[in-house]
Amino acid sequence: ITAVTYVRPSKTVDEVEVKSVKKKMKDKGFARAVNRDEIKNGVEELGVPLDEHIEFCIKAMRANKKILGL
């Protein structure tokens, strides 16, 4: 989500959408150090859909964007 934020024109998490994060997750060259399998396994352990988890994280990051510098 942070990497997606940095490539947005405004560089703010306010513009980030779930579909943008999912699209970038498919690109293995984007945010290469992020382990997609860990994300998928974590979501499975939580028992929530991936879209719902990404949305939750985006909202949490928006609520704390000043602290996060986003």
Domain range list for the chain: 2-68
Asked whether the whole model's pTM tops 0.95, one would answer no
Positions of E strands within 1-70: none
Answer yes or no: are the C-beta atoms of 62 and 2 closer than 8 Å.
no
pLDDT tens digits, one per residue of 9-53: 999 999 999 999 999 999 989 999 999 999 999 999 999 999 999
Cα–Cα distances in angstroms (integers) from residue 7 to residues 23, 29, 47, 57, 70, in the given order: 13, 14, 30, 18, 12
pLDDT at 35: 92
- Backbone phi and psi for residue 50, each to the nearest 5 degrees, phi listed first: -55, -45
pLDDT at 38: 93
